[in-house]
Structure 1
Amino acid sequence: MKILSAYADAGGNFIDLSDLYQFGEAEEIVGRFTAHSRHNFIFCTKYTAGGQPNASGVNSGNHRKAMRQAVEESLKRLKTEYIDVYIPPL
């Protein structure tokens, strides 16, 4: 939290994340930090097939259902109703 505080105090507002970073914990930390000041930040998060690049089945990969579930999970971890920039897998 000290790093995020220093970043915000210096005027930083763009936070680049992924659902894979620390298996979603990075999004949770940022969500707690920005819970009362979400409007001051721009969130960019990436979809990484649910953090399981080699997974198979209907709930994995680049399927619409898997991506939608990943968005919903990121929103919960980030404690927000929207993501400013969402990057799908290449």
Structure 2
Amino acid sequence: MKCVSNKVCYNSKGEAEEALIHLQAKYGASSGSGPVSTYLCTDCGYYHTTSKGEKSSTLRSSEGKNRIELQREANYWEEKFKGKY
């Protein structure tokens, strides 16, 4: 998968929304930055994430917020144990 935009390509909207959860947990949830939505690219036919536009319903939902928190905690523990094993 390659796009002229050089953005990461996702096969489905669901896959791109899942990426939003991980990206928000890693980069944007606390700073209010980072990707907030997904779109279907007219150039390549795949989905991409974007920092423009309205925040995705997935990120606004309580389930989405909980998943971001869980992913953030998983990221924390992964980083904590990375150097020990």
**TM, length-normalised to structure 2:** 0.31
Structure having the larger proportion of residues in strand: 1
1 or 2 for the larger relative contact order (CA 8 Å, sep ≥6)? 1
